[in-house]
């Protein structure tokens, strides 16, 4: 599988960003991967499944036999269609649910649409997020602060509350946090705060649900090449994305997806309340 080394070509997009406009495009699929049916007959609901990490997870889960529903913003339809086409190429099933998870009612509706289509939810992947850089705290606008918390952490409460009614013993929840929750980020104060909240939410929810036999874990990616990068940062910062990681490059979404697959299968049956760290070698206090 080919990975791209920094520097990337200078590029800039508007939020939420499009994978189709990125140079090079992120690697979301490993065609040489040999599936073994680890998720046969499972149903997965994935937020942010149109591009980036969510897209790679959707493709990998579908390859392993899961029926997949992805949630994404309507303006990301082109990316979502590309994800659906790749899943279809492997003979998989994918349901598209466009909408904005910053609202509680939509989160309830998204869960219901997945259940109406597939009957239940076995795997909930709370993955979608936004970030709006600011050089100092004085520059953080309240409307952006509130929206970042709504998208990144409030939605996880809303989606989980709605999904639990349709999840049985043996189901799993996987939340996407970030390396910034552990080492901070001077330009992403509010984003990093939400990711710290997600880590605490994951650990607390795991203890709350252990009696129901539902495992809850998280993944804390490092610098990954996704549309959020050119849509968030200037051309110079984007071109250097990942250069400070010990491996001296950004990760590809497909490299992160395997962590989610592990946490979704019985191979991680003794894991709950834990965070995996695909971050290119950064050592954190987990």
Report d(CA 268, CA 123) in Å as an integer.
13
d(C-alpha 34, C-alpha 18), whole Å: 28
- Say how many CA atoms lie within 13 Å of 273 toward its Cβ: 10
Active-site entry in 8, 182, 191, 260: 191
What are the tokens at 42?
């499972």
**Encoded tokens for 237:** 């910062």
Active site residue 191: yes
Cα 204–Cα 210–Cα 213 angle in degrees, nearest 5: 145
CA distance 100 to 275: 26
Among residues 183, 165, 172, which one has the least CA distance to residue 205? 172
CB 66 within 8 A of CB 123: yes
Residue 262 burial (CB < 10 Å; 0-12/13-18/19+)? Answer: middle
- With 0-12 / 13-18 / 19 or more C-beta atoms within 10 angstroms meaning exposed / middle / buried, residue 71 is buried
Dig out the tokens for 184 from the structure.
């901070």
Q: Among all residues, which ones are annotated catalytic? A: 191
């Amino acid at each position: 599988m080919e990975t791209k080394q920094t520097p990337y070509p200078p590029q800039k997009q508007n939020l939420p960003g499009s994978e189709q406009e990125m140079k090079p495009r992120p690697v979301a699929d490993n065609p040489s991967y040999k599936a073994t049916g680890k998720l046969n007959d499972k149903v997965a609901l994935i937020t942010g499944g149109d591009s980036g990490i969510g897209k790679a997870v959707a493709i990998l889960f579908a390859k392993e036999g899961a029926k997949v529903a992805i949630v994404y913003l309507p303006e990301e339809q082109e990316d979502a269609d590309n994800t659906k086409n790749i899943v279809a190429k492997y003979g998989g099933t994918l349901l598209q649910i466009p909408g904005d998870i910053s609202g509680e009612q939509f989160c309830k509706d998204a869960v219901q649409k997945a259940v109406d289509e597939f009957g239940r939810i076995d795997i909930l992947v709370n993955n979608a997020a936004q970030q709006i850089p600011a050089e100092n705290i004085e520059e953080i606008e309240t409307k952006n602060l509130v929206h970042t918390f709504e998208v990144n952490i409030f939605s996880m409460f809303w989606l989980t509350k709605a999904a639990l009614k349709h999840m049985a013993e043996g189901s799993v929840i996987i939340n996407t946090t970030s390396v910034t929750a552990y080492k901070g980020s001077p330009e992403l104060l509010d984003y990093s705060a939400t990711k710290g909240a997600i880590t605490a939410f994951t650990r607390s929810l795991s203890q709350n649900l252990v009696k129901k036999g539902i495992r809850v874990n998280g993944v804390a990616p490092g610098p990954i090449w996704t549309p959020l990068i050119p849509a968030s940062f200037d051309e110079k910062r984007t071109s250097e994305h990942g250069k400070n990681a010990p491996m001296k490059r950004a990760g590809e979404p497909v490299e992160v997806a395997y962590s989610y697959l592990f946490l979704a299968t019985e191979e991680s049956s003794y894991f709950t309340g834990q965070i995996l760290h695909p971050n290119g070698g950064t050592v954190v206090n987990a």
